[in-house]
Amino acid sequence: MQPEKDTSSKAKRIYQILLLCFGFNSSGDVLAVNMTIPNTLIRGVIGGEALLSVSYNTLSLDAPVIKWQLKREKSVTVVQTIGTVIIGTLRSEYQDRILIFENGTLLLHNLRLSDDGVYDVEISITDDVFTGEGSITLTVDEPISKPYIHMEASSVLELSENIILNCSHDNGTRTTYRWFKGGKPLSNETRFVLSPDQKLLTITRVLMADDDVYVCTVENPVSNVTSQPIRLSVYKRSSLYIILSTGGIFLLITLVTVCACWTPKKSKQKPRKPLSRIYSRSRHTPLNQNDYAPPKTAKRNGINAVTSLYVLQQKDPSMDDSSSNSIGSPEFDNPPSYTVSSKYTDSLPRAARSPTCAVPGYT
């Protein structure tokens, strides 16, 4: 009897093992972890949070083993837990940024651009044959700052070429651009050319119909911003020439007014009395001694110094008449002679007198 009991027990164990291999228990249920993921795409902002939500159900009462990995060339383990207890040591880039819930959900704090990618989750229980698996894509972006349109000139001449409008902004990742003219979207046309990323709008052969308001819109997964409208003014050639000529006339009038009002600064030095006035007076007006004041006497080092006075000699009127008839004669081209008054030279001290020297034209 004992050998029969051993054989029956062995057969029962083999039967149970076969049932486990095929994933069925005695009640006919599948021994597996059933996982559900409500959202497979999560969008996050730099510095924000991302909740990678999952849930599972199982017949086992054991705590699940949860493992999150980030897909790279070589997958990186983000966290691994038994229930909510973390196994091992977290990588430095995930320190104080990870939280695991009982249902397997992963919460990431203080998002970085490096957190962008596909996350694989795996939940397994020892009693279950099949583990639960799934994937969630996380995108991390930077919000777009206020865009603005930049162009070289807001006023252009009709029939000009290659007017470029640039939609610029400081921040933002994964951006896309759209252009509007007068509230209507623009696309690649004959005269409107968009760059491959649609950031630049080139208008060729500008016409009067292009005189309008232009706007650009910048979008990314976390923001959508529109620039301030900018007006492009197109002038006809005749109108532009009138404007330029009017401006030129105004500028000329301004320059003339400034030149007319400007006066040079007066010199502080007193002008010297021209010698020609003395010379003309000597020729036409008789000289009297009363016309000249006596020289001033200055006392220098105990010696009275008297300024010498030179008196022009009066020429004979007859000589003036004759000189008028003989212009260019060498004997009349000499300048008038000067004499020193003896009245004042006698008063000088003997030591102060200078030696006599012969000077042409002076006596």
Query: Do 312 and 360 belong to one domain?
Result: yes
Query: 240, 215, 239: which is closest to 227 by C-alpha?
Result: 215
- On whether residue 278 sits in a domain, the answer given is no
- Would residue 252 count as lying in a domain? no
Residue 218: Cβ within 10 Å count? 22
Q: Are residues 118 and 200 in the same domain?
A: no
101/113 same-domain check:
yes
Residues 129 and 40 in one domain: yes
User: What integer pLDDT is reported at residue 243 of this predicted model?
Assistant: 63
Locate 98 and state its tokens.
Answer: 């990870």
Among the ranges given (42-46, 163-167, 242-246, 354-358), the one the predictor scored with the smallest mean pLDDT: 354-358
Q: Are residues 162 and 207 in the same domain?
A: yes
Q: Which among 124, 141, 158 is the end of a domain?
A: 141
Residues with Cβ < 8 Å from 62, sequence gap 6 or more? 125, 126, 127
**Are 225 and 295 in a shared domain?**
no
Whether 344 and 295 have beta carbons less than 8 Å apart is answered as yes
In this structure, is residue 275 part of a structural domain? no
User: 151: which residues sit within 8 A by CB, 6+ positions away?
Assistant: 163, 164, 165, 166, 230, 232
In a domain, 283, yes or no: no
- Count of CA atoms in the C-beta half-sphere (13 A) of 137: 3
Q: Same structural domain for residues 9 and 40? A: no
Count the domains in the chain.
Answer: 4
- Angle, vertex CA 63, rays to CA 60 and CA 66, nearest 5: 115
Closest CA to 295 of 309, 282, 284: 309
What are 291-307's pLDDT values in tens digits?
Answer: 444 555 545 555 454 44
Residues 10, 39, single domain; the answer is no
Strand partners, 122: 67, 133
Residue 13 falls inside a structural domain: yes
> Tokens standing for 87?
């196994």
Instruction: Specify which of 181-190, 264-273, 274-283 reaches the highest per-range mean pLDDT.
Output: 181-190
Query: Alpha-carbon distance 213 to 110, whole Å?
Result: 41
Please give the pLDDT value at position 324. 43
**For residue 345, what are the domain limits?**
289-316+335-363
Whether residue 53 is found in the same domain as residue 112: yes
Chain mean pLDDT for the chain: 74
pLDDT digits 0-9 by tens, 66-105? 999 999 988 999 999 998 999 988 999 999 999 999 999 9
pLDDT-derived band at 336 (thresholds 50, 70, 90) equals low
Domain end among 118, 141, 164: 141
pLDDT at residue 174 in the model: 94
Classified as helix, coil or strand, 214 is: strand
Helix (H, G, I), strand (E, B) or coil at 259: helix
The number of residues in the chain equals 363
Which tens digits make up the pLDDT trace of 310-324?
444 444 444 444 444
CA-based nearest residue to 31, from 60, 66, 65, 61? 60
> Which has the higher per-residue pLDDT, 176 or 16?
176
Residue 281 in any domain: the answer is no
Q: Which two tokens stand for residue 298?
A: 């200055």
pLDDT on residue 254: 82
Predicted pLDDT at 318: 47
pLDDT value at position 362? Answer: 43
Q: What percent of the chain has pLDDT over 70?
A: 60
131-171 pLDDT tens trace: 889 999 999 999 999 999 998 888 888 888 789 999 999 89
Stretch among 14-28, 38-52, 80-94 having the lowest mean pLDDT: 14-28
Q: How far apart are CA 241 and CA 249, in angstroms?
A: 12
pLDDT band for position 14 (cuts 50, 70, 90): low
In this structure, are 4 and 53 located in the same domain? no
What does the pLDDT average to over 21-33?
Answer: 54
Residues 123 and 160 in one domain: no
CB atoms within 10 A of CB 227: 20
What mean pLDDT do residues 178-201 have? 91
How far apart, in whole angstroms, are the C-alpha atoms of residue 57 and residue 128? 11
Q: Would the pLDDT of 176 be above 70?
A: yes
pLDDT value for 158? 86
The stretch 193-217 carries a mean pLDDT of: 92
What confidence tier does 28 reach under pLDDT thresholds 50, 70, 90? very low
Residue 266 lies in a domain: no
Q: Report in angstroms the alpha-carbon separations of 75 from 37, 52, 80, 93.
A: 21, 18, 14, 15
Per DSSP, the three-state class of 113 is helix
214 and 300 fall within a common domain: no
Checking if the pLDDT of 53 tops 50, the result is yes
CATH of the domain at 180: 2.60.40.10
248: exposed, middle or buried (C-beta count within 10 Å: 0-12, 13-18, 19+)? exposed
Give domain status of residue 324, yes or no.
Answer: no
Query: Do the Cβ atoms of 169 and 149 come closer than 8 Å?
Result: no
